[in-house]
Amino acid sequence: MDAGKKDWMSLSDRYIMHTYGRSPVTLVEGKGCRVFDSDGKMYLDFVAGIAVCNLGHTHPEVAEAVCRQAQKLVHVSNLYYTVPQIELAELLIEHSFADRVFFCNSGAEANEAAIKLARKYSRDRFGEGRHEIICLKDSFHGRTLATLSATGQEKFHKGFEPLVDGFRHVPAGDLEAMKQAITEKTCAILMEPIQGEGGVVLFSPDYLPAVRKLCDEHRLLLILDEVQVGMGRTGTLFAHEHYGIKPDMMTLAKALANGLPLGALLAREEVAISFTPGTHASTFGGNPVACAAATVVLKTLLEGDFLSNCQGTGRYFKQGLEDLAARYPSLIKEVRGLGLILGLELKVEGADFVTNLLHKGFLINCTQGNILRFTPPLIVTKAEIDLLLGALDEECRKRL
């Protein structure tokens, strides 16, 4: 490939800020669950841009929609109506709890919008004084200063103090601690249905319904951050559907446009009306090209047996990981996850697993130091999963 003629990694190190610990590979092409580097080597991708490319790389219908829209209209500002944005909004509202949607560019922006709307709604409805939001420890909500403050992991806070006031953190899964944290200043609870960056942490089946009930009792807003686990990742369109509840607000991004920058805040009408012209905005939010791609993504996820197939593939993958855990109890502590967001908690550091699997042609991710996180495209096959499981088995076996 022509891209291999330059030392791209050295150029990156010279010109780009060092905010990422990158793997030593320059990726130039992708198709389905496979990506190729500048030397032509193929990798099976079990990261998918961290739960972004849910339909795989260069999905033909998404690519066609992008090209077609780019030849017609790329950007005109949200001072005007555009058809792709309206079509996508209609689809999202028709297949969710919500009545209104606000479009932005990322998950952090969507969560930032949710924080602002929660405060504005509470002020409009109850007057001054209610502005605090309860969040969970080990959560992750973004890198802006407000979403960083909402994030319940101190390692992300260091160096950026003082943080934004108005956030209280309680242990994840501890309903009693959440009850104790509610005061006359509380306006909302912000949480992920599954903590992705926190290590693929699932809560007990009754936790989210109990949080919903708590919000109803205290007239608080429930905001669900589905940036990583929404858009089919768990085998339902949205993760909260597994728990039989409806939030007041929900944030989406990552997989919404299969790799193009697009975020969304969905809300009930009663809450959404607190955003009026001039209260919030985004220059590029909901641009026609990203919305055209997202419309194809959403329609594809809703077609036929796509989501049920995702559930089946996820069960197959999880069973394979559990078989590994049974064979190597001295190395593997636990398997957890839902659908195709799965975590393998190791009793050792996970960095070497990531590096060695990369050499073998697999892209995987490690979070919290010892948890291998798998978020492949939702189109991943059992045969591709078997290849990864075989490579993981080899890595475990050589450590005994």
- For residue 211, the model assigns a pLDDT of 98
- For the cut 80, the answer to whether the pLDDT of residue 256 exceeds it is yes
- For the cut 50, the answer to whether the pLDDT of residue 1 exceeds it is no
Catalytic residue among 140, 275, 317, 353: 140
For 327-363, give the DSSP string. H-TTTEEEEEEETTEEEEEESS-SHHHHHHHHHTTEE
Q: Where would I find the H helices in 47-82?
A: 48-51, 60-70
What's the pTM? 0.96
Q: Please report where in the chains the tokens 């209104």 appear, as a residue.
A: 100
Rounded to whole angstroms, the Cα distance separating 294 from 33 reads: 19
Ranges of each domain in the chain: 2-59+305-397, 73-302
Question: What percent of the chain clears pLDDT 90, i.e. is strictly above it?
Answer: 98
Q: Would you call 318 a catalytic residue per the annotation?
A: no
- Mean pLDDT computed over every residue of the chain: 97
Compute how many other C-beta atoms are within 10 angstroms of the C-beta atom of residue 68. Answer: 11
Strand partners, 366: 372
- For the cut 60, the answer to whether the pLDDT of residue 215 exceeds it is yes
CATH topology for 73-302 is: Aspartate Aminotransferase; domain 2 (3.40.640)
DSSP class of residue 2 equals G
Catalytic residue among 37, 45, 225, 248: 225
Rounded to whole angstroms, the Cα distance separating 353 from 355 reads: 6
Residue 30 CA, distance from chain mean position: 21
Q: Please report where in the chains the tokens 């919000």 appear, as a residue.
A: 215
Residues 6+ apart with CB under 8 A from 388: 44, 46, 357, 362, 364, 374
Question: C-alpha dihedral over 152, 154, 156, 157, to 10 degrees?
Answer: 100
Catalytic residue among 254, 275, 353, 374: 254
- For residue 400, the model assigns a pLDDT of 87
Q: Would you call 398 a catalytic residue per the annotation?
A: no
Triad 323, 325, 327: Cα angle to 5° = 70
Q: What class has domain 2-59+305-397? A: alpha beta
- For residue 150, the model assigns a pLDDT of 98
Q: Would you call 254 a catalytic residue per the annotation?
A: yes
Residues 151/140, Cβ–Cβ less than 8 Å: yes
User: At what angle are helices 83-94 and 288-302 packed, to 10 degrees?
Assistant: 30
For 125-190, give the DSSP string. HH-TT--EEEEETT----SSHHHHHHS--HHHHTTSPSPPSSEEEE-TT-HHHHHHH--TTEEEEE
